[in-house]
């Protein structure tokens, strides 16, 4: 049927035509021929290893659960919000939340200038740049438990840091300095992440922009602050949110660096939760603390979810 | 214009590279400072692993006498070999499993719109941020209960640990594959469908061969996540199934007669744990860097 014939056709015929077009294979595939069974294996597994434990974790936080009732947790006494109240009033929960938040934010803030400086310094080609870029990434890729083990040795009272600077006997792994030790080590292993995201941001600066600022005669500092930095705002904001999330959830580094129970200046929330559960065997109380850590993580997570691109471009109406 | 004249008088003949960001002297300072910051601890690990326990304990940077004994002793003193074997099995299986499952899941998520798809994508991002401490206890309780119901010990086994690690590996791998597959053109798949290929055929013969860069990223980082874990492994393993991350913690407690920790061996085994990962990373650096940034930016 040609277009002219179509135009002349009466409404009844048009309906037939559109019905035929509905039967067009490309269209039909959209509707009913979606292989959503492919979601099955991954979906089921995620349900089993994440969703079910998550729900169970909430339930356990309402139970009076210790080493005796753990075996038979289904019949453990239900105590409502008692664990939450005890966590806030009788334990160091609020202190641990404060340590977690302040350490995460401070460590993240210190990684930003390092990462940005590294990215800007390796943006222009020079001899040995490839080696330098690889070197910058190594601290990030070294396993956290290795970083912790090494710095535990470096920061020992008679360790190499103190002997190099003539500070023998200074305590880094105990007492008030431990807080700064944790931040220092965290910064050392985390700054390359900011570096990576800044590099990605720098790549979005067009050549014309460089030409324009050269024509305007902008000095390097003016060019950096007025021309380049605006391009980095987005990637940096994202790097800050993700890095903060990682630091809030970091269990390995404080655990390996200080052992358990951790000295109180570095008793972060993951450590307190772990110790309450698997050392003091107050499992219900520990489950309640874990819920607090979920709430804590939710704040940067919601920011992240707003920033991240979720749609695949095939269904624009669905964005956000 | 005054701008032009000033620029001409300041740098009359120098060829100006327009993309240049920093003057040479600042560039040199930044590179030296950051290079030292990154390199000094790395050099120290190598030197300390060649030092005696006493030398490390005294805080020597440069060993007073070099020895390779640490690299020989680590294999007998704390069971490093079995730890490495366990870690390789667990992290390797997790990496391959989660990447393989992720490919199918991500393909369906990217190519076929359905109700709840955005929620699923959001959850993928969210699940990656769930604190491990939140899942540790429930998984422990769940595995203990299931184990006693079906009469099979799960906690303490390697396969139990593999399933546990899927909690963080699966959402991560799936998200990486989602961001990768989004970048692939859909036209090849459509052409294959018109030629009569099944959906699975398209996935197997068209998508999979194009997905290797994404799969490398997913496999490497899922491996790294498993290799890195201390928390789950400290609760879910027995001395026989201990991973190397946990075995290394024993060094902190192990002492020689004089009461000095086995520092030299600690450093040697740290190096042994780090070198393969770092080498793999450097080999696949090109894929890994772009995969990591696009996974978090886009």
Q: List b or e across A290-305, with b for residues whose CB sees 16 or more CB atoms inside 10 angstroms.
A: bbbbbebbeebbebbb
Q: How confident is the model at residue A110 (pLDDT cuts 50, 70, 90)?
A: very high
At B258, is the pLDDT very low, low, confident or very high (cuts 50, 70, 90)? low
Does residue B224 belong to the interface with chain A, where contact is any CB pair within 8 Å?
A: yes
pLDDT over threshold 50, residue A220: yes
pLDDT at B16: 53
User: DSSP characters for B157-211?
Assistant: SHHHHHHHHHHHHHHHHHHHHHHHHHTS-SHHHHHHHHTT--HHHHIIIIIHHH-
- Mean pLDDT value across residues B156-167: 92
Highest mean pLDDT: which range of B2-6, B23-27, B132-136: B132-136
B49 φ/ψ angles, rounded to the nearest 5 degrees: -70, -15
How far is the alpha carbon of B116 from chain A, nearest alpha carbon, in Å?
A: 10
Q: What is the pLDDT of residues B68-121, one digit of tens each?
A: 888 888 887 777 888 899 999 999 999 999 999 999 899 988 888 878 888 888
CA angle, B174 as apex, B141 and B245 as ends, to 5°? Answer: 55
Domain ranges in chain B with CATH number 1.10.3720.10? 79-297
What are the chain B neighbours of A24 within 8 Å (beta carbons)?
A: none
How far is it, in rounded angstroms, from Cα B16 to Cα A226?
19
B13 CB contacts (<8 Å, ≥6 apart)?
none
Report the pLDDT value the prediction gives residue B43, as an integer from 0 to 100.
92
Q: What is the average per-residue pLDDT within B256-275?
A: 81
User: Which of B199, B293, B298 is the best residue to mutate to test the A interface, defined by the most A CB atoms within 10 Å of its own CB?
Assistant: B293
> Could you report the predicted ipTM of this complex, rounded to two decimals?
0.86
State the DSSP H helix or E strand holding residue A189, giving kind and residue range, or none if neither: helix A177-202
pLDDT tens digits, residue range A221-273?
A: 888 888 888 888 888 888 898 899 999 999 999 999 988 888 888 899 999 99
* B176 in reach of chain A (CB within 8 A): no
Window 167-226 of A: residues touching B by CB (8 A cutoff) are 168, 188, 192, 196-197, 199-200, 207, 210-211, 214, 216-217, 220, 223-224
Is the minimum CB–CB distance between A302 and chain B shorter than 8 Å?
A: no
Average pLDDT over residues B40-59: 87
Average confidence score pLDDT of chain B? 84
pTM for the full predicted model: 0.84
**Which residues on A lie below 8 Å from B282 (Cβ)?**
134
Distance CA(A215)–CA(A211), nearest Å, equals: 6
pLDDT digits (tens, 9 = 90+) for A142-154: 999 999 989 988 8
Mutate to test the interface with A, among B26, B48, B59 (most CBs of A within 10 A): B59
Which A residues in the span 75-134 are in contact with B, Cβ-Cβ below 8 Å? 114, 117-118, 120-124, 126, 132, 134
Q: Which residues of A touch B104 (CB under 8 A)?
A: 38-39, 41-42
How many A-B residue pairs are in contact by the CB < 8 A criterion?
Answer: 315
- All structural domains of chain A, each given as residue ranges with its CATH number in brackets, are 90-309 (1.10.3720.10)
The count of other CB atoms within 10 Å of the CB of residue B194 is 10
Quick: pLDDT tens for A125-142. 888 888 888 899 899 999
Closest chain B residue to A138, measured at CA: B278
Tell whether B158 lies on the interface with A, counting CB pairs under 8 A: no
The confidence score (pLDDT) of residue A316 equals 39
Question: Class of the B79-297 domain?
Answer: mainly alpha
The token duo for A154 is 């470096």
The lowest-confidence range among A184-193, B59-68, B222-231, B267-276 is B59-68
Is there a contact between B138 and A34 if contact means CB atoms under 8 Å apart? no
Q: What percent of chain A has pLDDT over 70?
A: 86
């Amino acid at each position: 049927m040609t277009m002219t014939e179509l135009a002349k056709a009466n409404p009844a015929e048009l309906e037939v035509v559109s019905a035929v077009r509905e039967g067009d294979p490309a269209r039909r595939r959209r509707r009913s021929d979606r292989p959503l069974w492919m979601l099955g294996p991954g979906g089921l597994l995620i349900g089993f290893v994440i969703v079910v434990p998550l729900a169970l974790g909430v339930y356990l936080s309402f139970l009076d659960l210790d080493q005796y009732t753990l075996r038979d947790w289904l019949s453990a006494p239900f105590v409502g919000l008692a664990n939450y109240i005890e966590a806030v009033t009788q334990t160091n929960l609020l202190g641990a939340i404060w340590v977690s938040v302040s350490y995460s934010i401070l460590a993240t803030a210190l990684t930003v200038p390092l990462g940005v400086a590294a990215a800007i310094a390796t943006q222009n080609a020079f001899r040995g740049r490839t080696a330098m870029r690889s070197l910058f990434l190594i601290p990030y890729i070294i396993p956290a438990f290795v970083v912790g083990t090494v710095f535990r040795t470096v920061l020992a009272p008679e360790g190499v840091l103190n002997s190099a600077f003539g500070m023998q006997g200074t305590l880094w792994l105990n007492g008030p300095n431990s807080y700064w030790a944790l931040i220092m080590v965290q910064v050392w292993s985390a700054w390359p992440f900011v570096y990576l995201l800044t590099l990605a941001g720098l790549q979005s600066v067009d050549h014309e922009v460089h030409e324009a600022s050269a024509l305007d005669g902008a000095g390097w500092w003016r060019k950096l602050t007025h021309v380049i930095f605006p391009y980095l705002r987005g990637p940096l904001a994202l790097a800050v949110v993700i890095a903060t999330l990682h630091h809030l959830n970091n269990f390995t580094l404080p655990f390996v660096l200080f052992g358990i129970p951790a000295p109180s200046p570095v008793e972060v929330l993951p450590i307190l939760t772990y110790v309450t559960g698997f050392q003091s065997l107050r499992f219900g109380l520990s489950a309640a603390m874990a819920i607090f850590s979920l709430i804590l993580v939710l704040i940067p997570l919601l920011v992240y979810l707003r920033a991240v691109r979720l749609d695949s471009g095939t269904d624009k109406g669905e964005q956000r | 214009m005054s701008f032009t004249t000033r620029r001409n008088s300041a740098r009359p003949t120098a060829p100006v590279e327009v993309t240049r960001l920093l003057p040479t002297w600042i560039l040199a300072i930044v590179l030296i400072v950051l290079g030292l910051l990154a390199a000094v601890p790395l050099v120290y690990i190598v030197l300390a692993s060649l030092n005696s326990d006493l030398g490390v304990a005294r805080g020597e940077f440069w060993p007073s006498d070099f020895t390779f004994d640490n690299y020989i002793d680590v294999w007998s003193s704390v069971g490093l070999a079995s730890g490495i074997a366990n870690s390789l099995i667990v992290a390797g299986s997790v990496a391959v499993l989660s990447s393989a499952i992720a490919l199918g899941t991500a393909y369906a998520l990217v190519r076929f719109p359905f109700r709840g798809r955005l929620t699923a994508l959001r959850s993928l991002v969210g699940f990656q941020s769930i604190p491990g401490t939140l899942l540790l206890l429930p998984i422990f309780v769940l595995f203990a209960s299931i184990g006693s119901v079906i009469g099979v010990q799960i906690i303490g086994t390697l396969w139990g640990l593999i399933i546990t690690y899927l909690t963080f590996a699966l959402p991560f791998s799936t998200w990486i594959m989602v961001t990768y597959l989004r970048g692939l053109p859909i036209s090849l798949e459509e052409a294959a469908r018109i030629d009569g290929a099944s959906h699975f055929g398209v996935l197997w013969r068209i998508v999979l061969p194009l997905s290797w860069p994404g799969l490398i990223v997913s496999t490497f980082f899922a491996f790294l996540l498993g290799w890195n874990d201390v928390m789950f492994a400290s609760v879910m393993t027995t001395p026989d199934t201990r991973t190397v991350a946990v075995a290394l913690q024993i060094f902190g407690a192990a002492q020689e007669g004089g009461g000095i920790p086995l520092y030299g061996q600690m450093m040697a085994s740290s190096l042994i744990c780090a070198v393969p990962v770092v080498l793999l990373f450097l080999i696949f650096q090109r894929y890994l860097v772009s995969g990591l940034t696009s996974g978090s930016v886009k």
